[in-house]
Amino acid sequence: MTLVNAVLQGIFLGAFYAVLACGLSIMFGVMRIINLAHGDVAVLGAYIVFVIVEHTGVSAFVAFAAALPVMVVLGYILQLTVLERSLKAGILTPLLATFGLSIVIQNLLQLTFSPDVHSLGGSAGVVTTSSWQVTSGLSVSALGIVVLAVAVLVFGALQVFLSRTRAGWVMRATAEDADAAELVGIDSRSVYARATAIAVAIAALGGLFLGIRSVFDPVSGPTQLIFAFEAVVIGGMGSLWGTLFGGIALGVAQTLGAQVHPQFAVMAGHLLFLAVLIVRFGGGRAVLPGVRRALLLRTAR
Amino acid sequence: MTLLTVESLDCRYGLLQAVRGVSFEIGQGETVALIGANGAGKTTLMRAVAGAHRPHGVFDGIDITRIPAHRRVALGIALVPEGRRLFPGLTVEENLRVATSRRRGRWNVKSVLEVFPLLQPRRHVAAANLSGGEQQAVAIGRALMSNPRLLLLDEVSLGLAPVVVDAVYRSLTDVIREGATVLLVEQDLTRALKVAGRVICMLEGRVVLEGDAASLDRDRVVRAYFGLKRPA
């Protein structure tokens, strides 16, 4: 039963990673930008929610709804001021630019909010603490259900947007061939800005969940980025549903790893990530025959 | 009425000058074939008119030098690029629909599918899974979706079987008969002379011969095409 419980908790944890990874996946899929500031953008979102909660006393969820337009505008500004310019200078420049942006965001947060840790758990109401005991070894937390439901909803909504709406087709067309898209009358600049705005808004959602499930401080971003990045790679870069699956696979690997030893949790996730990297990027062809040969030798003896 | 004026157009790729001082005009409703050997600068010229390159040009009395490609579509210029450049992951219908512009006219998904009946059953198939001829039909249809006043066709017969090229040109004749102004690049001389009213021949970035398709004798065109000197 503990194993079933571990997998279940892993799915809930993975849904959180998937929400974090979603924006990263969109930006890579549409613009081929790996946004190294993605984790920091999520943390920035958590801080904005935190400020609204502190000043008005509303629930974290209400505060998030208020923070959403701010994040969308920030996304537009980020694209039009930083990313668009860096995209023109080749594929490495956005990587450097977002790395710099990551440092800038961390230091601005440090300067404004001090290095103290904060949490949104207290302002999220009963969701933070409620849970249901299914059987003796199996309990389901309300927050886990909420995160999983929201994750499925977000990915589902994106799927509908990309496959059913004209704006979604235009985004896919631009992602596939921006030059040809321009030639049929699509303004790739505004499509890119829209994609970044969506990515930043969903990153803030990840920040909200991070703040509710645990604590955050100005330098929490990079850790979140690593998990988000692993989720994207495990699921297949640029694939939307793959990212949801990748996040859940990462979460399950971590909770199963924790069954072996509590300190092995994060390591198990990294190992899954490495295994996927080796298999997907041709390394499998180099490594697997060696493994097979070793196994054959053993059976031959 | 003159629809497109190109005045001493120069295009460069770094040190390489692909188009050198090319000037010509295209009137409303004309079909002009742009011919010339590989590397003569035909594709570059087309991309410059469509806005993918940005040298000087005047369209319908408007200086379009500074207008980016996506806004030229709204003005009524549409390019069918060399190699088709469809969006492979999008279906036929999606490929057409993303190209809808604010320009009103007779072209929409329905009328495009009527001109290219071969696409009707393939409507919901991803562009990547189409045959070459079907892809070319989608590329032309996609350009038509913006109801262009000037249609630029870059090597629509490239890589297609002769039977398929015939079918594509049959549909094109319908489009031309509708009163479209067309500038097309074509490697096949006979076909170019047949479909176009006027021919512009380029060599090493310059216009070397220009005239009515009917009045040009084939020999002169061939000499201009390959840059052969007249025997003394």
- Confidence check: pLDDT of B145 > 90: yes
Judging contacts by C-beta atoms under 8 Å, the chain B residues touching residue A176 are: 87-90
Q: Is there a contact between B98 and A169 if contact means CB atoms under 8 Å apart?
A: yes
Phi-psi region of B64 (alpha: psi -120 to 50; beta: other; left: phi over 0): alpha
Q: Which of A165, A183, A186, A188 is best to mutate for the B interface (most B CBs within 10 A)? A: A183
Report the gap between the CA of A98 and the closest CA in chain B (Å). Answer: 27
Which one of A179, A184, A187 has the shortest CB-CB distance to B98?
Answer: A184
- Least confident residue range of A90-104, A250-264, A275-289, B208-222: A275-289
For residue A29, give how far its alpha carbon lies from the nearest alpha carbon of chain B (Å). Answer: 13
Residue that the structure tokens 């090493």 belong to = B204
What ranges do the domains of chain B cover? 2-226
Q: Where are the alpha helices (DSSP H) in chain A?
A: 2-31, 38-56, 60-78, 84-88, 92-113, 142-164, 166-176, 178-183, 188-213, 221-235, 240-260, 265-280, 283-300
Q: Which of residues 40-99 of B touch A (CB under 8 A)?
A: 50-52, 68-71, 73-74, 78-79, 81, 85-90, 94-95, 97-99
B45-to-A56, B41, B77, B79, B197 alpha-carbon distances in Å: 61, 6, 14, 11, 19
In single-letter form, the type of residue at position B77 comes to I
Q: Could you tell me the fold of the domain covering B2-226?
A: Rossmann fold (3.40.50)
List, in order of start, the domains of chain A with CATH numbers: 2-300 (1.10.3470)
**For A146-172, how does the pLDDT look when each residue is reduced to its tens digit (9 = 90+)?**
999 999 999 999 999 999 999 999 999
Residue of A230 and B101 predicted with greater confidence: A230
Q: Give A3's contacts (C-beta < 8 A, 6+ positions apart).
A: A256, A259
Residues on chain A touching B146 (C-beta within 8 angstroms): 184-185
Q: How many CB pairs under 8 A join A and B?
A: 68
Q: Is the pTM of this model over 0.90?
A: no
How far apart are the CA of B150 and the nearest CA of chain A, in angstroms? Answer: 13
Q: CB of B148 within 8 Å of any CB in chain A?
A: no
The pLDDT-based confidence of A286 (bands split at 50, 70, 90) is: low
Model ipTM value: 0.84
Q: Which pLDDT value is given to residue B232?
A: 43
Tokens of B142: 């996609």
| Sequence-separated (6 or more) residues with CB below 8 Å from residue A71 | A45, A48, A197, A200, A201, A203, A204
User: Which tokens is A116 given?
Assistant: 């103290």
Mean pLDDT of the region B143-155? 91
A102, A221 contact by CB (below 8 A): yes
Tens of pLDDT along B50-93? 888 776 667 777 777 788 889 989 888 999 998 889 999 999 99
Model pLDDT, residue A219:
95
Q: Is there a contact between B142 and A176 if contact means CB atoms under 8 Å apart?
A: no
